[in-house]
């Protein structure tokens, strides 16, 4: 049954003040559940409960992992205990739906190949439109009988024999780094060495670094070369103690940006200097004119700031583009975001989805799809009245980015805000706790 569409209403806010604990990292949670399930036993602390991570739990249960979730008094996930399948999945179903999670889709494909039988991997919503050429190509190189719907989209059919070939695997570096992460998780179990060749132009590389970070926890060794990665065969997944999921910079970026736009005194706790590429949001905001204090694992922002437009290369940090585009609409001077052609393969075509919305409000944003750049040529008007965004293409990051405009507008209404729960279910609650005039109805 389809959930009723919700609306997000945001009104002009005078001040944001308070202390917030960053939501747990979605990227780390995905990988900890998946890699922990490849072992015999694993324990995860501070995991993120979201639509995407719930689909990961469901999918890995189908593959044979026994996953027990412990919740706190508010219903958020506190701990996950996993009895894994030791690298030998025994799926209880032949058809697995991964929801709208691109990460889950790319990660599950090679793991399913370690089972035996014919399997259908499907998805829903925006995932139906996202291509998977790189995944299909890589697995065919590994000897897999795999086919996909037109345009390399789901559903994807795999005739699995329980075996994968290693050897040299070439992966297109310009579509997504998730294929590389997926192969790194599976390759340690193979009987021959695997060399993954990407070249030097791999997009979103920090997400691969996150994967390697979690694999290290599980006792897996990966060698990085100038051209890609080498994985030795016959390794065992043996996690050392519990994995503690750090705070999420991707989600916290929206709170940091909000604090730059209005009078504020905001502290966000549990933001470590780890492998997340999106921690670069701090550096970018400071270049734009913000002042951010770091003390231990907390960030403090006391806004507002007179922001200035800069040039930001977001090849490794595509999830920051929606929020940076909105900030550029409140900055003085041109804001240019480069090296983001791969944004076309996200929940929406983010090269255009947020720019089109902001242009309708009076900004001037130019998109060059060939070079993969987004340029804010003219900001939004100083005075913003009431505006309704009728659709956000079910893209959680676009919805959260556009909501920030409401802090400086008379009123902003965003239809279809349900999608925010894909990555940051507590977004509205956290902003309201800080004093924002925001509600979801």
Domains and CATH numbers, the chain: 7-22+247-440 (3.65.10.10), 91-244 (3.65.10.10)
**pLDDT score of 80:** 98
**Positions of the chain with pLDDT under 50:** 1
Catalytic member of 172, 213, 278, 319: 319
**pLDDT score of 347:** 58
**pLDDT score of 353:** 82
Give me the half-sphere count of Cα atoms (radius 13 Å) on the Cβ side of residue 422: 25
**pLDDT score of 1:** 41
**pLDDT score of 130:** 86
**pLDDT score of 129:** 84
Q: Which two tokens stand for residue 417?
A: 């805000």
**pLDDT score of 348:** 59
Under 8 Å CB-to-CB from 219, ≥6 apart: which residues?
Answer: 235, 236, 237, 238, 239, 240
Q: Exposed (0-12), middle (13-18) or buried (19+): which is 64, by Cβ within 10 Å?
A: middle
- Is 319 noted as a catalytic residue in this protein? yes
**pLDDT score of 200:** 84
**pLDDT score of 228:** 96
The tens digit of pLDDT for each residue in 195-220 reads 999 988 899 999 999 999 999 999 99
Q: In angstroms, rounded to a whole number, what is the distance separating the alpha carbons of residues 62 and 45? A: 22
**pLDDT score of 345:** 58
- Residue 247 DSSP code: B
């Amino acid at each position: 049954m389809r959930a009723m569409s919700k609306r997000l209403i945001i009104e002009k806010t005078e001040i944001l003040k308070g202390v917030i604990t960053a939501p747990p990292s979605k990227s780390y949670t995905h990988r900890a559940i998946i890699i922990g399930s490849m072992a015999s036993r694993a324990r995860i602390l501070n995991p993120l409960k979201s639509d995407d991570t719930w689909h990961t739990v469901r999918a890995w249960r189908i593959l044979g992992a026994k996953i027990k979730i412990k919740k706190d008094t508010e219903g958020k996930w506190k701990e996950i205990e996993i009895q894994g399948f030791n690298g030998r999945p025994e799926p209880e179903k032949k058809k697995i739906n991964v929801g709208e999670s691109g990460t889950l889709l790319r990660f599950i494909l090679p793991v399913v190949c370690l089972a035996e039988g014919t399997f259908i991997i499907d998805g829903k919503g925006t995932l139906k439109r996202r291509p998977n050429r790189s995944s299909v190509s890589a697995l065919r190189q590994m000897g897999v009988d795999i086919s996909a719907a037109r345009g390399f989209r789901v559903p994807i059919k795999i005739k699995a024999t329980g075996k994968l070939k290693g050897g040299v695997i070439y992966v297109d570096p310009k579509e997504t780094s998730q294929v590389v992460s997926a192969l790194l998780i599976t390759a340690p179990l193979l009987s021959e060495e695997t060399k993954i060749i990407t070249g030097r132009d791999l997009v979103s590389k920090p997400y691969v670094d996150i994967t390697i970070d979690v694999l290290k926890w599980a006792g897996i060794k990966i060698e990085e070369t100038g051209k890609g990665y080498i994985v030795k065969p016959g390794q065992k997944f043996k996690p050392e103690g519990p994995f503690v999921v750090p705070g999420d910079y991707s989600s916290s970026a929206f709170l940091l940006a909000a604090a730059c736009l209005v009078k504020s005194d905001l502290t966000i706790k549990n933001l470590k200097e780890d492998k997340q590429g999106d921690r670069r949001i701090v550096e970018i905001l400071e270049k734009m004119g913000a002042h951010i204090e770091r003390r231990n694992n907390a960030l403090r922002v006391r806004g507002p700031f007179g922001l200035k437009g800069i040039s930001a290369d977001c090849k490794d940090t595509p999830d920051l583009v929606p929020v940076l585009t909105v900030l550029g609409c409140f900055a003085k001077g041109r804001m240019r975001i480069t090296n983001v052609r791969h944004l076309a393969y996200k929940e929406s075509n983010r090269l255009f989805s947020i720019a089109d919305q902001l242009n309708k409000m009076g900004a001037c944003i130019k998109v060059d799809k060939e070079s993969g750049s987004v340029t804010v040529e003219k900001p939004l008007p100083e005075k913003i009245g009431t505006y309704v965004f009728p659709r956000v293409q079910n893209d959680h990051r676009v919805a959260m980015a556009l909501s920030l405009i409401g802090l400086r507008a008379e009123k902003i209404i965003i239809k279809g805000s349900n999608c925010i729960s894909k990555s940051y279910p507590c977004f509205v609650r956290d902003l309201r706790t800080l004093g924002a005039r925001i509600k979801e109805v």
